[in-house]
Chain A
Amino acid sequence: MKTRATLLAATLCAGAMLAPDSGAHAQQDLEARIAAARSRLAAIEQRAARVDDVDQIENLQRSYGYYVDKMLWEDVLDLFTDDATMEIGLSGVYVGKDSIRKYLYSLSGGREGPLEGVLFNHMQLQPVVTVADDGASAKGRWRALILTGTYGEGSGGNWGEGPYENEYVKEDGVWKISKLHWYATYFVPYEGGWLHSSTEAVRAYSEGHGVTPDRPPSEDYAPYPAAFVPPFHYPNPVTGR
């Protein structure tokens, strides 16, 4: 009996001695799983942030269009970084908010806000937004479909169309436009539409009145009927080329 009791005690002791060892393994295994979970969580957070960034940039650019519609220049200016550049059609490049402000007000006779009898619709469509891996900057291709007109002036209005290649930066967690560049495909009178298109009409629409751009147009091109392919900021989404 004594022997059996001793054996049992020895077994229990051995069990007690083994326990800390297997516990250490379990602890190690647990910590590895926690570390793996942490890194998966960080990856998810980053991917969610990129998805959110794209949504915010799309809202930013669409807001731009709704403000331009109504010539709310101060709201438009709020969307830009201090050192942003803006280039519309053949306007040349305006550098910095002060310059952009002068340009925008020159388009509306120095006034801000919608004007009786004036249509200035700028639809912002078809975004292809690419956020940089670090989430600090982004680029976007968009297109504007434009309807402008002055009521009762004998013209039925105008159509305009063309793509943007824009750039954005995130400052203190807020996305802003750092570069806005609209390429005019055409700007034509409502009568006849894009049957006849001229560079002069694009100039009349896009050039500032009584203001001088800081730099000449960044690219030498003519709108329709000339054929021009504004460069794409992104590679082919399937081939990556």
Chain B
Amino acid sequence: MVSKRRFAIAGIAITLTAAGALVAKTRAQGNSDPLVKISALESKLASLEHEIELLEDNKAVRRLQRAYGYYADKKLSGEIRELFAENATAEIGGLGVFVGRQRIGQLYDFLLGGKLENGQLFNHMILQGVVHVAPDGNTAEGRWRALIQIGQADESATWMEGPYENEYVKEDGVWKISKLHWYQTLAAPYDPGWAYAQIPMDGPSEALPPDRPPTEVYRSYPGAYLPAYHYDNPVSGRKSGGGP
């Protein structure tokens, strides 16, 4: 009797062990245990949430930079100032680097000179965005170009053009400009145009000295200058402008 019972107990133990092994095996395969399935789904969801956030971030950065242009059109320097992060930098043409939102506000007041008055044209078309959001979704970089039409009615009409290499930061879910750098390619009077005339780029102004000197010293058109790209060649992956 005793032996029989012992065998029976041993038999139960073996059966339990086998069942446990089977369960473990099935769990590892992940094809029937609901817990494994839901865990896999949850991790896919997390990756989709991150992906959709990066798409939204890219759109938000484009919106920010385009809104900047519409404000510049109308000389709304107060609105522009608000688009910058507290410790941002701004560098426009050869004027040098302005550090912090307050100094940046002064720079735009200086450049825009109060609200748009009758007789003034200040068009800033913001075009051709190449925007890269960092994989963590906290910062971004963007190359853009401004096509600018400045006018004083019946007195002057001027073309300007050049690229930006800007940086952005997301603070409390809101994208802001953390670094703005506009390179002047060209300034020329509309008449007779850029084949016959050019307006040289200004250096730092005595009326509004910058916090730091220009980061790059160059001559605008007809000078040839290559503002560095923040991105590699999107097809070859080689450094942009790296030559043969």
A, B in one complex: yes
- What is the total number of residues of chain A having a CB less than 8 Å from a CB of chain B? 46
Asked if residues A238 and B64 are in contact (CB atoms below 8 Å), the reply is yes
Q: Is the CB of A195 within 8 A of B154?
A: yes
Q: How many A-B residue pairs have CB under 8 A?
A: 126
Q: Is A125 an interface residue (CB 8 A)?
A: yes
At the interface, yes or no: A66 with Cβ under 8 Å from chain B? no
Instruction: Kindly provide the distance from the CB of B138 to the nearest chain A CB, expressed in whole angstroms.
Output: 16
A12-B12, A126-B69, A192-B157 as given contacts; A33 in contact with B191, CB under 8 Å: no
Query: What residues of chain A have their CB less than 8 Å away from a CB belonging to chain B?
Result: 1, 5, 8, 12, 26, 30, 33-34, 37, 40-41, 43-44, 47-48, 51, 54, 125-128, 141, 143, 145, 161, 163, 185-186, 191-197, 224-227, 229, 232, 234, 236-239
Contact of A194 among B5, B60, B82, B157 (CB under 8 A): B157
Q: Does B176 count as interface, using CB distance less than 8 angstroms?
A: yes
Q: A residues within 8 A CB of B115?
A: 227
Query: Interface residues of B toward A: which range?
Result: 35 or more
Q: How far is the CB of B166 from chain A (nearest CB, A)?
A: 14
**Complex Cα–Cα for A184 and B70 (A):** 14
Does B207 have its Cβ within 8 Å of any Cβ on chain A? no
Are A239's CB and B151's CB within 8 A?
no
Complex: A204 Cα to B118 Cα, angstroms? 22
Q: Is B49 within 8 A of A44, CB to CB?
A: yes
A197 touches B153 (CB 8 A): yes
CB-nearest residue of chain A to B151: A194
Complex contact A37–B190 (CB within 8 A): no
User: Interface stretch among B34-42, B102-110, B194-202, B208-216?
Assistant: B34-42
Q: Distance (Å) between the CB of A131 and the closest chain B CB? A: 10
Q: In the assembled complex, which residues on chain B have CB atoms less than 8 Å from the CB atom of A226?
A: 118
B59 within 8 A of A: yes
Q: Give A9 Cβ to nearest chain B Cβ, in Å.
A: 9
B90: Cβ under 8 A from any A Cβ = no
The interface residues of chain B lying within 8 Å CB-to-CB of A237 are 60, 63-64, 67, 83, 174-175
Within 8 Å CB of A30, what residues of B?
Answer: 34-35, 38
Please give 8 more A-B residue pairs, beta carbons under 8 A apart, in addition to A30-B38, A186-B121, A197-B121: A5-B5, A163-B73, A192-B157, A194-B190, A196-B154, A225-B120, A238-B176, A239-B82
Q: Given A34-B38, A47-B52, are A236 and B118 neighbors across the interface (CB < 8 Å)?
A: no
Interchain residue pairs with CB less than 8 A apart (14): A37-B45, A125-B127, A126-B69, A163-B70, A185-B123, A194-B121, A194-B151, A195-B153, A195-B154, A195-B155, A197-B151, A229-B76, A232-B70, A237-B174
